[in-house]
Amino acid sequence: MQSLSTGQRGLLAVALTALPLTAALAQAPQGLSAEQIVRARQATYGLSAGTFGEMKMVVDGGGEVRPLVFGARMLQRWARTLPTMFPAGTDIPPTKAKAEVWSDRATFEQRAQAYAEAAARLAEVAQAGDRAAFATQWDAVRQTCSACHDRFRQEAQRPGS
Ligand code: ASC
pLDDT digits over 43-72, tens only? 999 999 999 999 999 999 999 999 999 999
Mean pLDDT of 127-137: 98
87: left (phi over 0), alpha (psi -120 to 50) or beta: beta
pLDDT value, residue 39: 98
Ligand 1 center from residue 149 Cα (angstroms): 9
pLDDT value, residue 146: 98
Using CB atoms within 10 A of its CB, is residue 20 exposed (0-12), middle (13-18) or buried (19+)? Answer: exposed
What residue's CA is closest to ligand 1, atom 12?
Answer: 146
| Cβ of 153 below 6 Å from ligand 1 | no
| Cβ of 138 below 6 Å from ligand 1 | no
pLDDT at position 5 over 80? no
Using CB atoms within 10 A of its CB, is residue 82 exposed (0-12), middle (13-18) or buried (19+)? Answer: buried
pLDDT value, residue 1: 45
What residue's CA is closest to ligand 1, atom 8?
Answer: 49
pLDDT value, residue 161: 47
Ligand 1 center from residue 55 Cα (angstroms): 12
pLDDT at position 2 over 70? no
